[in-house]
């Protein structure tokens, strides 16, 4: 995905679907995108579980979400 697509999602609450390499099932994460590091390819997310990061390559779908679950 292009840089400007992810940049529009900073400080927005999103639903993110990821699949780690070698896994069959996907994971759904609800959280706010705090920052994006384009050089290393990571997205920093703040969710109910705390602060975390995801590899951009593992993201299968991302959608802005209007409400917190």
Reported as a single tens digit per residue, the pLDDT across 18-38 is 999 899 999 999 999 999 998
Number of domains in the chain: 1
pLDDT of 4 > 80? The answer is no
Q: Is residue 69 part of a domain?
A: no
CA gap 45, 29 in Å, rounded: 9
In this predicted structure, the answer to whether residue 69 has a pLDDT above a threshold of 70 is no
In a domain, 9, yes or no: yes
Which CATH number belongs to the domain containing residue 58 in this structure?
2.30.30.520
pLDDT digits (tens, 9 = 90+) for 48-67: 999 999 999 999 999 998 76
CB crowding 31-42: b at 16 or more within 10 Å, else e: bbbeebeeeeeb
In a domain, 21, yes or no: yes
Residue 35: domain span: 3-64
Eight-class DSSP state of 49: T
Residue 32 included in any domain: yes
């Amino acid at each position: 995905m292009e840089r400007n697509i992810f940049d529009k999602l900073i400080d927005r609450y999103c639903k993110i679907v990821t699949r780690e390499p070698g896994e069959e099932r996907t994971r759904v994460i609800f959280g706010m995108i705090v920052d994006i590091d384009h050089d290393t390819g990571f997205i920093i997310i703040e969710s109910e579980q705390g602060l975390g990061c995801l590899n951009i390559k593992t993201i299968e779908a991302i959608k802005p979400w209007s409400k917190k679950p």
